[in-house]
Structure 1
Amino acid sequence: MDIHEYTIVNEHAGDRLDKTLSVLNQEWSRTQIQSMMKSGLVLVNGNAVKTNYKGSEGDLVTVEIPEPEELNIQAEEMDLEIFYEDSDVLVVNKPKGMVVHPAPGHLTGTLVNGLMAHCKDLSGINGVLRPGIVHRIDKDTSGLLMVAKNDLAHESLVSQLVAKTVTRRYKALVHGNISHDQGTVDAPIGRDKQERQSMTVTRENSRDAVTHFKVLERFKEYTYIECQLETGRTHQIRVHMKYIGYPLAGDPKYGPRKTLSIGGQALHAGILGFVHPRSGEYLEFEAPLPEYFSKLLTQIDK
Structure 2
Amino acid sequence: MNTPTTFYPIGTPGQPWGAAERAAWRARQVKQRSYADDVLTAIDRLRAQFDVQQYGELDAGPDGRFPVFALRSKDWREGLPCALVTGGVHGYETSGVHGALQFAERHAGDYAGRMNLLIVPCVSPWAYERIQRWNAEAIDPNRSFGDDGKAAESAMLKALVAPLKEAFLVHMDLHETTDSDEGEFRPAKAARDGQPFEPGEIPDGFYTVGDGEDPQPDFQQAIIAGVAKVTHIAPADAKGEIIGSPVVAHGVINYPCRELGLCASVTRARFRSTTEVYPDSPRASPEQCNAAQVAAVRAALDYALAHAG
TM-score (norm 2): 0.27
Q: Larger helix proportion, structure 1 or 2?
A: 2
Instruction: Name which one, 1 or 2, has greater alpha-carbon Rg.
Output: 1
Greater relative CO (CA pairs within 8 A, separation 6+): 2
Higher strand proportion, which one? 1
* TM-score computed with the length of structure 1 as normaliser: 0.28
